[in-house]
Amino acid sequence: MKKNLIWIVIALMSLCAAIAYMSSPCRTQQSSQTDGSENFVTITDVVPDAILEIRYFGTYNFVGTRIDGYLEPTALLTKEAADSLRAVSDDVKALGYRLKIYDAYRPQRAVDHFVRWAADIKDTLMNHYFYPDLDKSVLFEQEYIMAKSGHTRGSTVDLTLFDMTTEKELDMGGTFDFFGPESHPVFGGNPETGEYIPTEGITAEQFAHRMILRRAMMRHGFRPLTTEWWHFTLDKEPFTDTYFDFPVQQLK
């Protein structure tokens, strides 16, 4: 009887110790130290019709090499942004289009890679394709490259439209990530009214294609950027001051 009582006391002491550990501040802090990826989803899980062409996983980008932090050719967004993007997809599908994604969540280590590249003035491998009219030394000054990016907060996406009839991207009158005024939404017209203003370098049809994408994104809560026709951020983004750094890869 005494022996059984001793074992019961030992078991109770162990249980109390375990409860104390689980409820201690140290334990709570340890369990809350995550990379933040639990707040994200893979875009194609929510928008299965989206086409992915993740430029920073490959070498066809303004740097000319795979960018740090892109471990797999996938695209991630916060759950809120992905849900809104699904609504956009439903809209454009009714018009005969699909969304084509170039980039979405971007880890801070990728932004740091861009900063290092921009500081190396001699590295102009891709200037012919992405910044033929710019001296690389002005990229910081003109804010083409910055130390922080809205993409890193997880609710920004770079995209275009894919025409299901022609099986080609819509002609937007300019390529993704081109550094120049040709990429501005106001180039060739008034994006607020949709009015085309004849301008050398963009046709009325190309400007209209930009407006189809812009209006669909804005209808579902995304705000455009003044310098890039392809760039949109969820207006009610859940993380306004958090810059994540977990890599781009399939979520586990």
Catalytic positions: 228
Number of Cβ within a 10 Å radius of residue 60: 14
Q: How far apart are the C-alpha atoms of 240 and 237, rounded to whole Å?
A: 6
Contact 172, 211 (CB under 8 A): no
Contact 82, 88 (CB under 8 A): no
Q: How far apart are the C-alpha atoms of 141 and 120, rounded to whole Å?
A: 15
Helix residue spans in 154-225 (DSSP H)? 204-219
Residues 6+ apart with CB under 8 A from 143: 227
